[in-house]
Amino acid sequence: MHNAGQAGLTYWAPNINIFRDPRWGRGQETSGEDPAVAAAYSLEYVKGFQGEEGEEGRIRLSACCKHYTAYDMEKWEGFSRYTFNAKVNAQDLEDTYQPPFKTCIQEARASCLMCAYNQVNGVPMCAHKDLLQKTRDEWGFQGYITSDCDAVAIIHENQTYTKSGEDSIAIVLKAGMDINCGSFLVRHTKSAIEKGKIQEEDIDRALFNLFSVQLRLGIFDKPSNNQWFSQLGPNSVCTKEHRELAAEAVRQGAVLLKNDHNFLPLKRSEVRHVAIIGPSANDAYAMGGDYTGVPCNPTTFLKGIQAYATQTSFAPGCKDASCNSTDLFGEAVEAAKRADIVVVIAGLNLTEEREDFDRVSLLLPGKQMGLIHAIASVAKKPLVLVLLGGGPVDVSFAKQDPRIASILWLGYPGEVGGQVLPEILFGEYNPGGKLPITWYPESFTAIPMTDMNMRADPSRGYPGRTYRFYTGDVVYGFGYGLSYSKYSYSISSAPKKITVSRSSDLGIISRKPAYTRRDGLGSVKTEDIASCEALVFSVHVAVSNHGSMDGSHAVLLFARSKSSVPGFPIKQLVGFESVHTAAGSASNVEITVDPCKQMSAANPEGKRVLLLGAHVLTVGDEEFELSIEL
């Protein structure tokens, strides 16, 4: 695209905010609710964009970590992302909101950071000098900081945080922002200089950061034909290889949530007539999420299934995903009656969740549930329910209904969604995806979206957020996902004891644990540990496939402390690895665990601490106990 004059080399992605609330319209853009997963995702994403740093810090493209920080709400009741003050305590900031950004900058070495619209603890993020400078002073950020679009204008015009536009420009430039998305700086910077609000050195610093990234991108170099990417052009787009990669992403991302009596996979020889019901079944647009690109040659679900079944019937059932009328139910019911197998495509699309638009309910939109009940009551066999959408949906009714045999979540599968769905339904691919988010019940919508607290607080009936702290009921839990195979796990090798050494320069006073628990054990601040690298260990897991199909899936390793300490995670993901296991055989996977990073949590002061005493590693139903001692 760049070589054809249709794009630049700086991109404002990835979105690495935490999917904190299930109603968030932009949660679909993220990698989910877990900070360790978001951090790992940011690392791979930025490396994929920028490539390995070459001489003089050369990069291929510039990636941007966004939206810094604690941004995860569009509109809720009277609150808007443009003026919202996210009240975040030091504990949650340290071990939930900041880890993805720290990794994105410190390890991935992203060349751009975007500051968010919202305030954090009363200060607009683009003017939050403490948090912006932390990225440079503590995390070693070398790049430019951009505002989100019009995020400088709103500081004065909407948030009334400053008395004038010139004051807004002064406060953001002096806080460390380098460029504004929008025209506000273009219109007001000259006036800010004339009024003495900013000095030439403020502009020089911003220009240095901006031009440094342009130089690293080679924008001022003479064109060279010996660089492989100079050959890329229109013929490099929409290739067979790209389409296969897109398909593989859908295959690995599909999550099987229910499969009663091994209803799936279907046998092609036994299925003659398939009815596919739902407004999104024949709508290529519905398969793309927020910020989706222009698809090359999209395959709808209907078209995909037509290639597998002798006969297919299609009925939308509803005019669109909002499904505000039952007028089209009759046609769908008749189609379902005639078919051997019924597949219902339900869920969300961009009319229900998107940028600047949050959901108010976790239930299926409009009368979708009624449509599913109507179809289930007449179908010859239990139906297959396919769910689209980025956010979780309360489908408790379908989970419990024996007339619904299987539930498959596809997210937003993009242009090849229609190709991959029948591959999964007819057993050409064995699904193995896991949920990256907790699927909460509808009752969770009683919790204000504006409550940024992650930890549960029983004293006010607050259940907490995400699998690490949430104490309420779930429809489906984080990390849940079935397969056509049954897997079992055995931890074949892991240390039973880890000994922590404190830094030698600590005084005698600090030999006391950070605080003492009732069992007499305590914790140690990770900053006081002599060598966190020395604590890193490997866990070897044997994975057995008891099914008749080969399969790949993600092996998730969790850790929890055996002692219940207020404010510490119920459990947390410490590692994950994808593994392929042949039918009836076993494979081995090694997961590396960094206790300082992955088994620690923040104390109320926002300091990372590692709990001493017994911890339990879990993978599936397998448990392994290890002790952390001084």
**Which residue numbers are catalytic?**
148
Phi then psi for residue 16, to 5 deg, are -115, 20
The pair of structure tokens assigned to 630 is 């001084």
Burial class (CB in 10 A: 0-12, 13-18, 19+), 369: middle
Is 393:257 a contact under the CB 8 Å cutoff?
Answer: no
Give dist(CA 408, CA 393) in Å, integer: 12
Structure-block tokens of residue 424: 């999964």
Token pair for 606: 């926002």
Q: How far apart are CA 172 and CA 174, in angstroms?
A: 5
Residue carrying the six token digits 């204008």 = 153
| Residue whose tokens read 């006036």 | 191
Please report the DSSP string for 570-581 in residue order: S-EEEEEEEEEE
Handedness of CA 386, 391, 392, 394 (dihedral sign): negative
Dist CA 479 CA 489 (whole Å)? 15
Cα–Cα dist 50/586, whole Å: 37
Residue with tokens 């536009």: 165
Q: Tokens at residue 253, please?
A: 């991302």
Residue 78 neighbours by CB under 8 Å, 6+ apart: none
Pair of tokens at residue 526 = 């990770």
Q: Which two tokens stand for residue 604?
A: 């109320």
Residue 121 identity (one-letter amino acid)? N
> What does the DSSP 8-state code read for residue 377?
T
Cis peptide leading into residue 69 (ω within 30°)? yes
Contact 15/355 with Cβ under 8 angstroms?
no
Could you tell me the two tokens for 418?
A: 């229609």
